[in-house]
Structure 1
Amino acid sequence: MGAGHQHGQSHSHGQVPQQADRGMRARLLIAFGLTAIIVLAQAVGSVVTGSLALLTDTAHAVSDASGLLVALIAATMMLRPPSSSRTWGFARIEVIAALGQAALLLVVGTYAAVEGIRRLFEPAQVPGTELLVFGVIGLVANVAAIAVLASSRGANFNMRAAFLEVLNDALGSVGVIVAAIVINTTGFQQADTIAALFIAALIVPRAFSLLRETVRVLMEFTPKGVDLDEVREHILALEHVRDVHDLHASMIGTGLPVLSAHVVVEDRCFESGHAPRILEEVRACVKEHFPVSFDHATIQLETTALRDQEAASVRHA
């Protein structure tokens, strides 16, 4: 710690909380197995019936299965501890995994929408009874997967993405079943296409939402619920604080918000030994006024002269 500087940080990097546990991995493994069964059953069903809705739901199930596999791998990697070369460990892997799942869902949803619109004008003949059987098989397996993942769906981005995919696929199976019933009772073949478009409508908005949230983390945008202008105002309101600069806040992963700031205080605070007290006041201020718990906060206290030196070095860089 150099003269005129104080650094406040509540945890060392070796104490980063784990974002996944063995229970999550077990649930993901079971859900992956169930989804793989759905893929096989619906793939056979789409060939037998020629149903676009079932084909779309099969593609969605493939996306689910691959997404769950990625989530399972991510959950395993996230258990690896931090090191001197990976100071946050693999905490962000769950965000990257969720981004990949969102991209897969967008591809599937777009295909379903385009093919569905085409088939509205060129409906295929789909056997309703066979379609109903495969729809029920898919729904039963999806409900089982939902039950497995439900308790952990809010744990992190990774688990949320996995749960949403399985939930959407279950709703898609419901659409397939409804289409089969309509075809059996009325002969209205476009019901299959309408079901496919319904599945696409389920996929795309949720995929965009997940994509937006993961991109926010990867771009290191300010966490939701935090206004950095307000943070700056609250810190500036503290006694002896003269300026706040290089103020940043972002998310490493779920439950890991970080904040850093350079806080300029009066020179006499370093001479009187009052600087550590100001450091604690700054940390308490941030903790009190904002909903995000910045357990990883780095606050650097500095003199006016040091601030001016930093500004000059930036200008001449």
Structure 2
Amino acid sequence: MSTPPADKGRCAGVPSDDTAGHAASAVTGPPGHGHDGGHGDGHAHGVAANADRRYLRGALILLALFMVGEVIVAFASGSLALLSDAGHMLSDVGAIAAALWAMRLAARPARGAWTFGWKRAEILSAAGNGITLLVVSGVVGIEAIRRLINPPTVQGGPVLVVALVGVAVNIGAAWLLARANRTSLNVEGAYQHILTDLYGFIGTVIAGIVILVTGWTRADAVASLIVVALMLHAAWGLLRDSGRVLLEAAPEGIDLDDIRTHLLGVEHVVDVHDLHVWTVTTDLPALSAHLLAEDSCFTDGHTPQLLDQVQACLGGHFDLEHSTFQLEPATHATHEHGLH
């Protein structure tokens, strides 16, 4: 069976060097990824994993040293804003440490029961970052409301000085993490921690100035509530994105109807069902589907070429790393009721 040229608007096929046969299914990927269905890195990133770890370690050391000093000054000055920033910074340190640990796990090769390796450790780390932000924001928010009602004595001078240093430290840490590969949800989670801490310190600087100029100590609690709002916003983003991955929702920007239309545009594909698209981890989407093909494809050994056509279609229109197809003759459709 020869393959006629693709009609305008249909996905064109590509030549195949595969030996003709009666393959019923295969694992494919976009052009350049090969047909081995392996678990190696398919996307080339601008920043290497070892560079990511170096940037994260630098930020970790910088924040840990400053956090110790901030806790001391917070207790000495009686500032909740500084203490809340220190608590958030503790979560920053924990987030970066967890991100580094998750990177090490994700780098482990696939073996045994772990057919995708430990790649989702990075997603779990991102979810943990979101949960940590929720917990810290709740603790700080309750104390901030209490102090807003009954404001204690707060020394504006130490608050202002430490907050200014904190702004500088967090700018340095944010700069380090911005150089890492932030397409990783794991790295992005650590970056969001740093960014909200930076905004929090800016609010604390303003609170310190207000206390020094006006003596209005409630400004300290107000600054804390601003930090809480920022933490909640960052937590929601991390939990939403990590939740989509863990619940195996289709990646954002991927339209299943669009994929189905393109697959049906491949010559000799009669129908597509049992179509699933999910994300294993950041930048590693996967797809599986049952393709009904013309019966003649299974008698003249055309299935390898058909798989190449499907591969070229997905590679040309969608960024899909792992694709698994089960090829079935059109007459097999009556055997699979209830599939979508």
Same fold (TM over 0.5): yes
Letter matched to residue 139 of structure 2? Y
Match for residue 152 of structure 1 among 180, 203, 206: 180
8 Å contact 2:55–2:179 — kept in the other structure?
no
Letter matched to residue 38 of structure 2: H
Match of 2:63 in 1: 35
**How far apart, in 1, do the equivalents of 2:137 and 2:128 lie?**
14
2:6 is aligned to: none
My pick for the range that moved more, 58-67 or 113-122, is 113-122
Once residues 192 and 207 of structure 2 are traced to their aligned partners in structure 1, the CA distance between those partners, rounded to angstroms, is: 22
> Contact 2:245–2:279 at 8 Å: present in 1 too?
yes
Distance in 2 (CA, whole Å) between partners of 1:239 and 1:72 is 47
SS in 1 for 2:299: helix
2:158 corresponds in structure 1 to 130
Give how far 1:234 is off. Answer: 2.3
Higher helix share: 1
The question of whether the paired residues in 2 share the 8 Å contact of 1:240 and 1:265 is answered with yes
The one of 280, 299, 302 aligned to 2:328: 302
Q: Work out which of the residue numbers 236, 251, 254 in structure 2 matches 1:223.
A: 251
| Partner residue, 1:13 | 38
8 Å CA contact 2:22, 2:301 repeated in 1: no
Gaps of 5+ in 2: 1-19, 30-35
CA contact (8 A) 1:153 1:163 kept: no
Counterpart amino acid of residue 325 in structure 2: I
The 2-side partners of 1:7 and 1:209 are apart by 36
Match of 1:169 in 2: 197
Tell me the distance in 2 between the aligned counterparts of 1:178 and 1:130. Answer: 13
- Between the aligned partners of 1:24 and 1:204, the Cα distance in structure 2 is 26
The answer to whether the aligner puts 1:74 opposite 2:93 as a matched pair is no
Identity, in percent, stands at 37
Answering whether residue 168 of structure 2 is matched by residue 143 of structure 1, we say no
Output one character per residue of 1:209-258: Cα deviation in whole Å (capped at 9) or x when no partner.
11100000011100111111221122223332222111110111111111
Alpha-carbon distance between aligned partners in 1 of 2:115 and 2:133, rounded to the nearest angstrom? 32
CA contact (8 A) 1:14 1:83 kept: no
The answer to whether 1:240 aligns with 2:268 is: yes
Name the CA distance, whole Å, in 1 between partners of 2:264 and 2:103.
41
**Secondary structure of the residue that 2:281 maps to in structure 1?**
coil
**What residue number does 2:138 align with?**
110
Q: Conserved in 2, the CA contact under 8 Å of 1:16 and 1:88?
A: no
How far has the Cα of 1:153 moved from its partner?
Answer: 4.8
Name whichever of 254-263 and 269-278 sits farther off: 269-278
Q: Deviations over 1:103-140 (max 9, x none)?
A: 00011122222322222221111011111222123222
4+ residue stretches of structure 1 with deviation over 6 A? none
Q: Secondary structure at the match of 1:90?
A: coil
**Unpaired stretches in structure 1, ≥5 consecutive residues:** none
Residue 4 (structure 1) shift: 5.6
The offset of 1:63, in angstroms, is 0.7
Superposition pairs of residues 255-274 of structure 1, within 5 angstroms: 255-274=283-302
For the 8 Å contact 1:28–1:68, the answer to whether it is kept is yes
Could you say what the CA RMSD is over the residues aligned between the two structures, in angstroms?
Answer: 2.2
Q: Between Structure 1 and Structure 2, how many residues are aligned?
A: 311
The 10-residue stretch of structure 1 (16-25 or 148-157) with the greater mean CA deviation from structure 2:
16-25
Deviation at 1:299, TM superposition (A): 1.7
